[in-house]
């Protein structure tokens, strides 16, 4: 099976992510109507714990395996791939067994002493199978990413969501008569079945692609120039800093609302006002700002093996080209979406949340959108260059700046809410700049300046058109839809005229689309 190009992998994962996000939105709406706010509250209560456990049991091996397999493939060292898989599976099996046993043993104490809600006990037990399933799946996903085979990953995401929704529909109906805790636990079992279905599909799809043509990893591999210890070292060089970065990010994310609330109270706001602002910021504005990450996350996933393969083949110029492509694609998506969010912040806030206060937050954050969307691809390039510790260091510096500025600025009466938003923007700008400088020092700077100017001009042209088009209709929704649709067409036309994209690009994309399911 031929490996996919960077563009093919990005488009494949983006399409799957869009489909699963739409399915996930429908699933959440359906679930919320069945288990109501109390049931959803139970879910949100235990999920941070699950995420923490999974961070520790998966050890970010998906990224590490992807990098190692891509390097081994580039040098045609299949025995080393075999060793990487053996070490990775052994690690996740041991860690997930410990995590599962620990959660089962501590579930009574957690429900009583930590969550102060006995209804969380059956939910904690129901989610324990997710730990080994997701941990093992992370290794298989990393292996397929390293081979640059994104079709199976995309199909597994859709299959997983389909099984989850279907099983939850039947399970909740059977469990509701026994009470809310059992209904929520049934929904969690549905998630387990979905993850299990996705894992079995991945194992089946990846089996013929393994070094031995099967999953008999206990057999001794053929001799390799690289020892088993080198496989452990290679995995550790990526897994440890990426895991540490995620843990520190989780800690900063948990600390942020506490610091925001205290700073706003010091600025003279009431507790209810501070809580309401944080809800508007984190629960309403940020999801809007993060909309384009469905593309940049897919790009990040595809970049790690692509850059790793180029490094293993000593193709430094190809790494520079990947950097230029990441900047260019992030600009193509980030510039117009940031401008669209700024221009239509008020109607979007009114239509989605019936709250115009969210518009102010969106308008403050939107100008930094491009840098935010570029952040993950740059971090992936650093990981592909085997410098994950630089990405971790940069993220820590950015988080420290954000938290420090929140305390410093948000506590001032003349700034308060704006101080929080400026702190977030400053953190985004600094972290992305540090990532770019780190990559530039390693491979040389590759900034497609002329393309960025052209994309900026196309964005301004599209914005001018949308500002005019929004006057056509009386309905708020109609104005938004008409301006957005025609604005996208004008933006694409201007990109074609300016030569940023070419008509042949659409033909290439059409050829990428599979004519039949790649099962």
What pLDDT does residue 270 have? Answer: 85
What pLDDT does residue 65 have? Answer: 92
Q: Can you tell me the distance from the alpha carbon of 519 to that of 515, in angstroms, rounded to the nearest whole number?
A: 12
pLDDT-based confidence at residue 159 (cuts at 50, 70, 90) = very high
Mean pLDDT of 6-33: 78
Mean pLDDT of 368-388: 91
Mean pLDDT of 88-111: 93
pLDDT-based confidence at residue 198 (cuts at 50, 70, 90) = very high
C-alpha separations of 56 from 53, 111, 268, 435 in Å: 5, 21, 40, 25
Share of the chain above pLDDT 70, in %: 92
What pLDDT does residue 515 have? Answer: 45
**Residue boundaries of the structural domains of the chain:** 1-218, 239-444, 448-519
**Length of the chain (residues):** 519
The secondary structure of 227-279 as a DSSP string is: -HHHHHHHHHHHHHHHHHHHHHHHHHHHHHHHHHHHHHHHTT--HHHHHHHHI
DSSP 8: H
Report yes or no: 203 and 215 within 8 Å, Cβ to Cβ: yes
C-alpha separations of 224 from 61, 76, 167, 227, 229 in Å: 22, 11, 45, 7, 12
What pLDDT does residue 72 have? Answer: 86
Check whether 104 has a pLDDT greater than 60: yes
pLDDT-based confidence at residue 519 (cuts at 50, 70, 90) = very low
pLDDT-based confidence at residue 22 (cuts at 50, 70, 90) = confident
Residues 6+ apart with CB under 8 A from 320: 443, 444, 446
C-alpha separations of 325 from 52, 129, 304, 307 in Å: 33, 40, 14, 12
Q: By C-alpha distance, which of 378, 389, 391, 371 is closest to 319?
A: 378
Only one residue has tokens 């093992």, namely 136
Q: Express each pLDDT in 479-490 by its tens digit.
A: 888 899 999 999
What pLDDT does residue 82 have? Answer: 83
Q: Express each pLDDT in 74-90 by its tens digit.
A: 888 888 888 888 899 99
What pLDDT does residue 406 have? Answer: 92
Identify the residue with better confidence: 117 or 101: 101
Report yes or no: 330 and 296 within 8 Å, Cβ to Cβ: yes
DSSP 110: I
Mean pLDDT of the chain: 85
Mean pLDDT of 33-44: 72
What pLDDT does residue 397 have? Answer: 95
pLDDT-based confidence at residue 366 (cuts at 50, 70, 90) = very high
Mean pLDDT of 382-394: 91
Identify the residue with better confidence: 363 or 2: 363
pLDDT-based confidence at residue 435 (cuts at 50, 70, 90) = very high
Share of the chain above pLDDT 90, in %: 35
What pLDDT does residue 96 have? Answer: 95
Long-range contacts of 223-228 (CB under 8 A, 24+ apart): 223/79, 224/77, 224/79, 224/80, 224/82, 224/83, 225/77, 225/80, 226/77, 226/80, 226/83, 228/83, 228/86, 228/87
Identify the residue with better confidence: 54 or 179: 54
What pLDDT does residue 352 have? Answer: 82
Mean pLDDT of 146-153: 88
């Amino acid at each position: 099976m031929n490996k996919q190009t960077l563009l093919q992998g990005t488009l494949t994962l983006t399409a799957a992510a869009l489909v699963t996000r739409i399915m996930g939105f429908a699933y959440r709406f359906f679930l919320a109507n069945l288990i109501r706010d109390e049931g959803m509250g139970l879910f949100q209560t235990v999920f941070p714990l699950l995420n923490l456990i999974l961070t520790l049991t998966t050890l970010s091996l998906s990224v590490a395996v992807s990098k190692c397999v891509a390097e081994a493939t580039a040098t045609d060292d299949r025995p080393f791939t075999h060793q990487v898989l053996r070490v990775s599976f052994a690690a996740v099996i041991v860690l997930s067994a410990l995590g599962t046993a620990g959660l089962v043993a501590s579930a009574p104490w957690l429900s009583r002493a930590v969550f102060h809600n006995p209804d969380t006990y059956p939910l904690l037990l129901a989610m324990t199978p997710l730990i080994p399933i997701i941990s093992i799946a992370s290794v298989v996903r990393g292996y397929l990413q390293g081979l640059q085979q994104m079709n199976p990953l995309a199909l597994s995401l859709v299959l997983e969501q389909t099984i989850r929704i279907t099983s939850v529909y039947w399970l909740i109906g059977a469990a509701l008569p026994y009470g809310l805790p059992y209904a929520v636990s049934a929904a969690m079992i549905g998630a387990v079945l979905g993850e299990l279905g996705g894992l079995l599909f991945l194992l089946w799809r990846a089996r013929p692609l393994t070094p031995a043509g099967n999953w008999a990893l206990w057999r001794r591999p053929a001799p390799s120039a690289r020892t088993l210890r080198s496989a452990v070292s290679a995995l550790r060089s990526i897994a440890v800093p990426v895991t540490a970065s995620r843990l520190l990010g989780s800690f900063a994310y948990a600390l942020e609302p506490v610091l925001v609330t205290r700073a706003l109270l010091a600025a003279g706001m009431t507790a209810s006002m501070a809580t309401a602002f944080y809800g508007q910021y984190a629960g309403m504005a940020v999801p809007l700002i993060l909309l384009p990450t469905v593309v940049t996350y897919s790009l990040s996933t595809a970049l790690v093996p692509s850059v790793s393969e180029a490094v293993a083949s000593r193709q430094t110029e190809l790494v520079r080209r990947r950097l230029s492509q990441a900047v260019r694609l992030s600009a193509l998506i980030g510039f117009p979406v940031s401008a669209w969010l700024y221009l239509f912040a008020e109607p979007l806030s009114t239509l989605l949340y019936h709250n115009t206060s969210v518009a102010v937050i969106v308008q403050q954050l939107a100008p930094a959108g491009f840098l935010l969307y570029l952040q993950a691809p740059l971090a992936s390039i650093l990981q592909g260059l085997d410098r994950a510790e630089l990405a971790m260091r940069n993220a820590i510096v950015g988080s420290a700046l954000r938290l420090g500025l929140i305390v410093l600025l948000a506590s001032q009466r003349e700034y308060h809410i704006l101080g929080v938003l400026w702190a977030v923007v400053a953190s985004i700008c600094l972290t992305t700049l540090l990532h770019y400088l780190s990559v530039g020092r390693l491979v040389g700077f590759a900034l497609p300046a002329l393309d960025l100017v052209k994309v900026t001009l196309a964005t301004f042209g599209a914005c001018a058109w949308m500002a005019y088009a929004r006057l056509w209709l009386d309905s708020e929704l109609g104005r938004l839809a008409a301006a957005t649709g025609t604005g996208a067409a004008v933006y694409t036309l201007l990109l074609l005229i300016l030569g940023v994209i070419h008509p042949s690009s659409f033909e290439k994309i059409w050829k990428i689309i599979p004519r039949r399911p790649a099962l």
